[in-house]
Structure 1
Amino acid sequence: MTFTAIDFETATGYHPCSVGIVTVENGVITDEFVTLIKPPDNLYSPFTIRVHGIYPKDTIHAKSFSQVYPEIRKRLENRVIVAHNESFDRNVLAKSMALYGLDYAELNIASRWECTVKIYKAKGLKPAKLSDCCREMKIALNHHEALSDARACAKLYLLK
């Protein structure tokens, strides 16, 4: 089991304010990366702030997506990518890359990622939110903290 799990927290729409990435090699977590990201114009929705607790003051001096992208790229390129609700995180990545003129195809990753929501729904777990899956599988989670969410997703995928 060699893959990379990713989770984005967003400020508005598909504009990320944090990313967590967990690299798994042969079933063992070998790397963890997390950083804040300054969204365009450092704008946030009150709803997203309530979800993850990240405020504009937290990202005012953070790097932009394009500045963080080299770290993201080196962890995703040529890998199997896993996310909980993969279409959301995949769209955040793709739309952020497009905004900064970066070519998604250069990552050489699948057009659809592995999705732990779909995997655990297929196993009969409903609802299959990350918190529900983690509670059922006894995985520690600080929900809506990007690294904790990515780590939990990696552990869920290892247990699939």
Structure 2
Amino acid sequence: MDTFTAIDFELATAAYTSVCSVGIVNVKEGKIVNEFYSLVQPPDNKYMWQTTRVHGIKAKDTVEAPTFLALFPTLFPLLFNEHMVAHNEAFDRAVLQQTMKLFGLDYTSLKLPELWECTSLIYKAKGFPKTKLSICCQLMNIQLDHHDALSDARACALLYLNQNNIPDNLLLNT
């Protein structure tokens, strides 16, 4: 499928409702047509040092950022009725579902599929022994600023678009 939307979330704490950034990439007919990124103020603007160490986002960075609830009217048209792709779809789907529930938003209003496409699972099925986003991107020669939500979403989109163009030398593990 050449028309889809890739998404990635970064979290401020271990709670799936602690979104601190979101990246969305809309692809139409195999071409990236829109990219969206925003910092998001997590509940109480609370962070764990462990998550900040991963993505570098701190409370001072999101103190003026919109909450997920305030940002949702912008996100809705980017996600509505889209074919969704994420590198770990179960994680990103759960983050979206749980965060929407926290803010009293109806997930079903987005009319998204029950399960999304997962580039990690796709590349595992293609024979990649390890399917971390950074590893897949390195092997597929896709630029990545790992744990930047937009860069991760863009990389996921490119992995999805290139799933049938894996060089033969990378398929030796099948």
Which bin holds the TM-score, normalised by the shorter protein? over 0.9
Q: Which residue of 2 aligns with 1:10?
A: 11
Structure 1 residues 25-104: aligned runs within 5 Å: 25-104=28-107
TM-score (norm 2): 0.91
CA distance in 1, matches of 2:70, 2:101: 14
CA distance in 1, matches of 2:70, 2:109: 17
Question: What is the count of residue pairs matched by the alignment?
Answer: 160
3-state DSSP class of the match of 2:144? coil
Q: Which residue of 1 aligns with 2:125?
A: 122
Q: Which residue of 1 aligns with 2:112?
A: 109
TM-score (norm 1): 0.99
Q: Which residue of 2 aligns with 1:141?
A: 144
CA distance in 1, matches of 2:97, 2:141: 32
CA distance in 2, matches of 1:74, 1:45: 31
Structure number with greater Rg is: 2
Where structure 1 has 5 or more consecutive residues not aligned to the other structure, the ranges are none
Determine whether 1:131 maps to 2:134. yes
1:51-87 superposed Cα distances (whole Å, 9 cap, x missing partner): 0000000000100000111121111101100000011
CA distance in 2, matches of 1:155, 1:35: 20
CA distance in 1, matches of 2:143, 2:21: 20
CA distance in 2, matches of 1:118, 1:31: 25
CA distance in 1, matches of 2:127, 2:74: 36
Q: Which residue of 1 aligns with 2:171?
A: none
Give how far 1:94 is off. 0.4
Where structure 2 has 5 or more consecutive residues not aligned to the other structure, the ranges are 164-174
Correspondent of 2:154 among 144, 151, 154? 151
Structure 1 vs Structure 2 CA RMSD: 0.6
CA distance in 1, matches of 2:42, 2:161: 32
Give how far 1:100 is off. 0.5
CA distance in 2, matches of 1:152, 1:30: 14
The aligned amino acid for 1:71 is T
Runs (4+) of structure 1 exceeding 3 A deviation are: none
